[in-house]
Structure 1
Amino acid sequence: LQIYGPPVSPPTVKAFAATDIAPTTAVLNGSVDAEELEVTDCHFEYGPTASYGQSQPCEGAVPADTDAHPVSAELSGLAPNGSTYHYRVVATNTAGTSFSTPDRTFATVDQVITEGSTGISNPPPQSTAPSSLGMGF
């Protein structure tokens, strides 16, 4: 039995630089080309090593065409102070699953700790009316 038809391909995926990096949050960015097939899953895998360990669904629509469409994922609850995270985009269509390569990384920024009150308060307003003290009336 031979079946003929157009060749099918798994999605083409790319990971781009992370943006909006803060002490405990970041936005991961990438693109997905569905290769004319419906994308049934799209997510970012991330974690402190290239073994990842966590995932976040993609935000952004990926229609069944041959154009690369932007996707992103907002992360929260990250470790602050220069913690390094690895990430990649993963997308699946009926032809298979693709992973973005190479592995991308970003580091969270240092958490700024603001000091408490300085103990200085605004002095009470001073009266501009003449004082009756020392006038000898």
Structure 2
Amino acid sequence: MTKFLLAVHVLAAIVAVGPVTVAASMFPPAARRALADPKDVRATAVPDTLYRICRVYAGVGIAVPVFGFATASGLGVLGDAWLITSVALTASAAAVLVLLVLPRQHTLLSDTGRDAPALTRRLGMYTGLFNLLWATVTVLMIVRPGSTTGA
């Protein structure tokens, strides 16, 4: 059962987190292009689509920690430092996405009167932080320092 849970956890991470990291990374340059030419229907549709991808897959991404906790429980590693660190980084990544990335994407889509270039730069920074947090979690999940599972 643990192998099944681990497989679902990894697949959920790939299917849910992957699209968010890509779409969030693509959003700032797409928003800059759309703001540069607001009459270009295609250019303005791209940020809308990327924002929708980020929102939907952020919700789907809840499956990742759910199956992660189930897997960790099955492996008996819930108290291991690498897992606790991964959980903290995952929570941080989720907070960055929900509190910093998605609201700024929404602002850029709904209010072009603000300082859009500065907002897209900050959004790029927050997106980079989100991606760095997820990359660190991925490395911890692979390396698992101090793990007793023998892998």
Normalized per residue, the structure richer in strand is 1
Q: Same fold (TM over 0.5)?
A: no
Q: Which has the higher contact order (CA 8 A, sep 6+)?
A: 2
Larger radius of gyration: 1
Normalized per residue, the structure richer in helix is 2
Under TM normalisation by the shorter chain, which class is it? under 0.3
TM-score, normalization by structure 1: 0.25
TM-score, normalization by structure 2: 0.24
